[in-house]
Structure 1
Amino acid sequence: MTDLRIGIAGITGRLGSLCAEEAGTALSGGTSRHPVPEKNITSSPDELAKRSDVIIDVSNAATIAEHAKCFSQNNCAWVIGTTGLDNAAQDAIKEASTRIPVLQAANFSPALTVFLDLARQISAALPSYDAEIVETHHRQKLDAPSGTALAIGEAVAQGRGLSLKDVARTDQNGRRPDNAIGFASLRGGQVIGAHDLLLLAADEEITLSHRALDRRVFARGALHAARWLATKKPGLYSMADTLKNE
């Protein structure tokens, strides 16, 4: 699509500001709790949707239901990077995807997208190995486990035919249950993001690791997703879909 107009919901946040820089002249504006009209930054998602073809949403979980309704009404494609969503928010996303193209990702990194596929495969191949996920982030991060860690857990559970909500273990007290998928969250300094999946047996172990070295990898991935999604039909897509040969 030529002359694609890309909006950023949450444009003044850490990732939102980087997405705005990467969008360049395609940027149509953004939303923030503190509007800056001369920079096309508004507090109204409806106003942003009216001047955008696709919106990258890196705002916060509390806005998802409103955005689902607003972007659907304006026929605006929606890339969602917001994590920590409850069931009501997920239902709103699913409903919106029947009317507009929606891409939801816990992490926009291409390498992490491949990591999730590998996690699914290796967990299926080694179903008896204990699975532990360790994630480290900067000291300002609010949610734990991270959305990416939970996505890794989902991949492990899918590979083993399990439901993550039934086997997730965030409290390490007591004996480790069979089939548990453990999570450990570390917070400190300004770590952009580090994730390790450990599969452990009595006589060997294997670790998959991902380290983000520059936050721009997420912004560039989000922009790639936005440009890819803009031409798609209504539906719910993932970052893995953007890496497939078409």
Structure 2
Amino acid sequence: MTPMNIAIAGAGGRMGRILIEAVQNADDARLSGALDRAGAEQADAAAFLGKPAGVPVASALDQGLAGAQFLIDFTRPEATLEHLKYCAEHGIKLVIGTTGFDEAGKAAILAAAQKTAIVFSPNFSVGVNVTMKLLEQAAKALSTGYDIEIIEAHHRFKVDAPSGTALKMGEVIADALGRDLKEHGVFAREGVTGERDPSSIGFATIRGGDIVGDHTVLFAGIGERIEISHKSSSRVTYAHGALRACRFLADKPAGLYDMYDVLGLKDQ
């Protein structure tokens, strides 16, 4: 079996290192390149593992992506959009786990997917995506008489809120209920807010310590409540999901895919 040539963006960051280790440990993958910001170049991307890969960390895209078939990118929107343009022009398939894109950024990803194959998801955990499917089913069954609140918690270093995963959960629930999250989402409460609008979908955000990622959706009725939760204890699960996405993309034409496609959950 010919291994997949995979490049990693943000190679010096926490998630970048976890992705590099996952690629190095996969029998069907090979680390072909590594990218990081200018000034963060390194002689070997896997030196921290004690097993040099012979792959330097570069800031120039033509160097870091030379020979790559796939780029896994869990960085920041501005960096991902720069990588996106290069990958689309050179036929490199993309796995994007970056969150915090505005509408223009999402439109750029959609446009690039006309030229190359992309898996774009706010969360690459297999468990989170199964949770999304459960939320879709729960929302349809609990469409009346239940108030919906989404509570998420992450580490102190996370820069966007609510998390991309929490927003995706809200979108899944809103779609199942035939609502528009932009109209029904409530992202802040303070002071005298009045009685809760039963059609609203509330969000609460917690930031602190080293919490990897906790998400709970509360369906609160009269006399009972249902809580559907997912808690991440390690970022390794995201790396394994990203590799699974690369395997999925291997024989796929240009287009925009998500983890439901990767896991075969679209029609279930």
The answer for the alignment partner of 2:83 in structure 1 is 67
Q: How does 1:58-97 map to 2 (within 5 A)?
A: 58-97=74-113
String of CA shifts for 1:51-77, please: whole Å, max 9, x gaps. Answer: 200100111111233222110111000
Deviates most, 169-178 or 192-201: 169-178
Q: Unpaired segments of 5 or more residues in structure 2?
A: 45-54
Residue 148 of structure 1: CA displacement? Answer: 0.8
Change (3 A) 1:202 1:222: same
- Report the AA paired with residue 8 of structure 2: I
- Measured in 1, the distance between the counterparts of 2:153 and 2:18 equals 21
* Corresponding residue number in structure 2 for 1:235: 255
CA distance in 2, matches of 1:146, 1:139: 12
CA separation in 2, counterparts of 1:49 and 1:162? Answer: 41
Shift of 1:181: 0.8
- C-alpha deviation, 1:90, in angstroms: 0.6
Equivalent residue, structure 1, for 2:41: 35
Q: Is the Cα–Cα contact under 8 Å of residues 43 and 57 in structure 2 kept in the other structure?
A: yes
Cα distance in 1 between the residues matched to 2:71 and 2:84:
11
Any residues of structure 2 matched to 1:57-136 within 5 Å, and which? Answer: 57-128=73-144, 129-136=146-153
User: Cα deviation per residue 1:6-44 (whole Å; 9 max; x = unaligned)?
Assistant: 001111111111000110161112111112244421112
CA distance in 2, matches of 1:166, 1:120: 19
Length-normalised TM-score, structure 2: 0.87
- How many residue pairs match? The answer is 245
**Structure 1 contact 28–40 (Cα < 8 Å) conserved:** no
Distance 2:91 2:134 in 1: 35
SS of equivalent to 1:236: strand
8 A contact 1:9–1:45 mirrored in 2: no
Which residue identity lines up with residue 31 of structure 2 in the other structure?
L
Q: Is the 8 A contact 1:134 1:197 kept in 2?
A: yes
Deviation at 1:227, TM superposition (A): 2.0
Contact 1:49/1:70, CA 8 A, preserved across alignment = no
Say if 2:144 is the partner of 1:140.
Answer: no
1-structure distance, mates of 2:246, 2:74: 13
Structure 1 runs (4+) deviating above 3 angstroms are none
Stretch of structure 1 that moved more, 57-66 or 104-113: 57-66
Within 2, Cα distance between the matches of 1:178 and 1:104? 32
Amino acid aligned to 1:17: R
Return the TM-score normalized by structure 1. 0.95
Task: In structure 1, give the amino acid aligned to 2:248.
Answer: W
More deviation, 32-41/118-127: 32-41
Q: Which of 1 and 2 has greater Rg?
A: 2
**Counterpart for residue 182 of structure 2:** 165
Give the secondary structure class of the aligned counterpart of 1:182.
strand
